Amino acid sequence: QVQLVESGGGLVQAGGSLRLSCAASGRTFSGSTMGWFRQAPGKEREFVAFITRSGSNTYYADSVKGRFILSRDNAKNTVYLQMNSLKPEDTAVYYCAADTYGRSTSSHRLYNYWGQGTQVTVSS
């Protein structure tokens, strides 16, 4: 079992920054691909970014590339999403997810553990 707890969401003005954290319990963290997804009201869940098990590779959705930075600290069982130059269209609930099989994937269907989500609201 893996439990994921997100934190760091909030209200920010356009152009501002937030850093989301996702703390994981369980011994499988270092063997898991970690991803972030988001869901705005009335929209499908959308891929944001993922990071491979060692942290050596990251992959971003085009909509956030160059603005968001994903990193992980396997010693702390934590993954971080630094979000810069935020836009109103980034407003959503952000979910941390773990793929304990360690695949490199942007498909939400392949992530088998999810956090409860944290709200990010960007005002214009």
Model pLDDT, residue 38: 98
CA 40 to chain centre: 14
Q: List the one residue out of 122, 96, 119, 79 whose CA is nearest residue 36.
A: 96
Model pLDDT, residue 81: 98
Contact 98, 67 (CB under 8 A): no
Cα 122 to Cα 124: distance, rounded to the nearest angstrom: 7
Model pLDDT, residue 26: 81
Contact 35, 49 (CB under 8 A): yes
Token pair in block for residue 120: 């990010």
Spatial CB neighbours of 100, under 8 Å, sequence gap ≥ 6: 2, 28, 31, 32, 112, 113
- pLDDT (tens place) for every residue of the chain, 124 residues total: 899 999 999 999 999 999 999 999 987 899 999 999 999 999 999 999 999 999 999 999 999 999 999 999 999 999 999 999 999 999 999 999 999 999 999 999 999 999 999 999 999 9
Query: 76: left (phi > 0), else alpha (psi -120 to 50), else beta?
Result: alpha
Model pLDDT, residue 1: 82
> For the chain, where are the E strands, in sequence order?
4-7, 10-13, 18-24, 33-39, 46-51, 58-60, 68-73, 78-83, 92-99, 113-114, 118-123
